Structure 1
Amino acid sequence: MKENILVIGGTGKTGRKVAHKLSKNGHLVRVGSRSGSPAFDWHKPEYWSLALQGMDKVYITFQPDLAVPGALNAIEALTKQAKNANIKKIVLLSGKGEREAELCEQVIIHSGIDYTIIRASWFNQNFSESFFLEPILEGFVALPQADIKVPYVDTEDISDVAVEALLNDKHNSKIYQLTGSRSLTFKEVINEISETTGRDIAFTPIAISAYTNMMKQQEVPDDFIWLVEYLFTEVLGNPNNSEITNDIEHVLGRKPKDISEYIKETAATGIWNS
């Protein structure tokens, strides 16, 4: 049965892949973005009902992160509108080990709407589509929490789980925690990117205070600095975040993509040689 599905954040790291895979399977997909039609803007709740109208299910990603101030109020307001629009199911992308994000999850869980919660570890794509890319291109990466191991997860796997959760009722009322199959430190990832690309990329550990000061000097917006500091301290500092799960294998019946495979595929695109 073909369904009408709103993908909020449908141009983002996971959303665009979810939208593509649903469309490929013949479902009617509405891309929820500021450039969509109708447009979806987290700062303009008065227009959300237009995006929800006629939809059966919703995939939600919140920008920049569910942990930021204001996210809880936005999720509460959207969930209320979703209920009024008779949305049958919500799949929410959340963050593994983010206590603030879990408050947003509770809003969905207690909404009376069928749901699946997807808690993802840090993305592989942070190294190619996000704030790690620029220092990699410059050949000098300085990051805090250098000794902490992270079980990076690929957005292809996240989007596959999201699509499966949207289309299959057996995932209703489930919370999945998605990770890769092994954990690496920042230095180990950067070294592997360096070896695969044949580029000399240096890695230096740095204190979180020095890192945030550096961002301030570069005139990075305060709300983004707050988020980065939160992610490096509260999230990476949470010992549970190094835990490796088998939820991807449980949902998809296959192993998650290894980060080495991601590095080889991404290196082949040339993005790290720009």
Structure 2
Amino acid sequence: MAETTWRDGHRLVRILSPPLLHSLPSPNPEPRAPPPRHAKTYARKMATSTSLAAALPSRVTSPGRRAALSCTTSRARPRPHPARAVSSSGPRCRLVVTCNAQAAAPISIGQGTPVRPTSVLVVGATGTLGRQVVRRALDEGYDVRCLVRPRPAPADFLRDWGATVVNADLSKPETIPATLVGVHTVIDCATGRPEEPIRTVDWEGKVALIQCAKAMGIQKYVFYSIHNCDKHPEVPLMEIKYCTERFIQDTGLDYTIIRLCGFMQGLIGQYAVPILEEKSVWGTDAPTRIAYMDTQDVARLTFVALRNEKASKKLLTFAGPRAWTTQEVITLCERLAGQDANVTTVPVAVLRFTRQLTRFFQWTNDVADRLAFSEVLSSDTVFSAPMNETYQLLGVEAKDILTLEKYLQDYFSNILKKLKGLKAQSKQSDIYF
């Protein structure tokens, strides 16, 4: 029996919502108390939710067993956080959540089937990082299964690469268990869409996925988080990432958590393309520095960590060779493109005011949440970390990590060569017109 108590209630009480997965009945289940602002939603879900009839079998070589999960809550006066002053109104009540997981009686399902260590489920496989993880896994000989949402335009490119595609939706927990059958490792690259509430996928969906992974005996769970997420509880997305880290650590799963700073791929649409098209690029007046990393390097290091026992139950940070300000990135793009950028600067004060304004309206709460993240990215913050220990742990050479200069140079060289070819074809067609 494993018992875990979260004592970071001064954080969790604001975002914690009940797990939507009820497939594992407890002998004496005690419902989890909801945060105050989710009380009505919680009551409605508890009134309508039912347990799945079938228990989830273990996939190890011993006879299957089913787990029993229960959660109890209590309220206590919090200790002041060392980095924060207690407000004049007095300390808030915190929510202490105790989760218990224990094995119930064996289920007579016969001998289990061993799972191959090369069987991998990639969640969020169509995203910027997810597709690179899929490609890398296939290149290294893994048997890759991709969890994607049902959509009108299916992810055919994943099948063309050689992966198996399964449909599921993290916001619908009943669709998750079937995708985990026969899987050894889960690599979680998923995140919510811009039009969705942040908590739907990034918290509630992830809790359901992690609970399923624990119940079904997944051997390894890889989770991508955000660098410094533990230092910004005022930003919902970063707060959720941090709490998800804690949730994974407390389940007893074998995990590797990887915190990321920023992707080089995102700079193409944000700066490179607008400069080439002579459109405005947006920046801020803050000296934020971000150590961007190529998603291909992230994927490669992920599988190095996956095969390295020293990375088991570790929290790693992946950062690029150098941290860049927005102005430095724009200047680099201008030099490589051979033309000046039309820069529109947005003061950080405007972002902060807009965020506060959108808090007044229920339908703009999610906009405010995302603006909070933008405000952090536009503040005097450095999203970078020393990588020497990580390189040593993984046995990787620093020279093998792509620099931003090289990445953008390759991009502009290729795109300018194509544009030159198109102009040549246009002139040739004019001659024969």
Q: Taking structure 2 as the reference length, what is the TM-score of the superposition?
A: 0.55
Aligned residue number for residue 376 of structure 2: 234
2:119 touches 2:182 (CA, 8 Å); kept in 1? Answer: yes
CA RMSD of the aligned region, Å?
3.0
What is the match of residue 296 of structure 2?
A: 156
1:249 and 1:38 map into 2 onto residues whose CA distance is 34
Give the equivalent residue in structure 1 for 2:388: 246
For residue 165 of structure 1, report the CA deviation from its aligned partner: 2.3
Q: Distance in 2 between matches of 1:239 and 1:119?
A: 16
What amino acid does structure 2 have at the position aligned with 1:148?
Answer: T
Matched, 1:264 2:409: yes
* Cα deviation 1:35-62 (Å, max 9, x = unaligned): 4632132222211112111100000023
Does the CA contact (< 8 Å) of 1:178 and 1:246 recur in 2? no
Q: Size of the alignment, in residue pairs?
A: 266
* Amino acid in structure 2 at the alignment position of 1:78: L
The residue type equivalent to 1:186 in the other structure is: T
Q: Which runs of 5+ in 2 are unaligned?
A: 1-115, 156-164, 231-238, 420-433
Check if 1:24 corresponds to 2:104.
Answer: no
**Structure 1 contact 142–203 (Cα < 8 Å) conserved:** yes
Counterpart of 1:201 (choices 341, 363, 366) is 341
Deviation per residue, 1:111-164 (Å, 9 max, x gap): 111000000001111112x55566444532122254222221221221112112
Within 5 A, what are the aligned runs for 1:160-239? 160-208=300-348, 210=350, 222=364, 225-235=367-377, 237=379, 239=381
Spell out, residue by residue over 1:180-209, the C-alpha distance to the aligned partner (whole angstroms, 9 max, x if none): 121111111011112112232233321246
Alpha-carbon spacing, 1:138–1:46, altered in 2? closer, same or farther (3 Å):
farther
- Structure with a larger share of its residues in helix: 1
Which of 48, 58, 82 is the aligned partner of 2:213? Answer: 82
Q: Post-superposition shift, 1:257? A: 1.6
Moved more, 34-43 or 6-15: 34-43
Q: In structure 1, give the amino acid aligned to 2:411.
A: T
The aligned runs of 1:63-142 (5 Å cut-off) are: 63-64=191-192, 68-70=198-200, 71-99=202-230, 100=239, 101-128=241-268, 135-136=274-275, 137-142=277-282
Letter in 1 for 2:287: D
Q: Which has the larger radius of gyration?
A: 2
Structure 1 unaligned residues grouped into runs of 5+? none
Q: List, as ranges, runs of 4+ consecutive aligned residues in structure 1 with deviation greater than 6 Å.
A: none
Corresponding residue for 2:23? none
Residue aligning to 1:51: 179
Distance 1:243 1:57 in 2: 27
Q: Does the 8 A contact of 2:260 with 2:319 survive in 1? A: yes
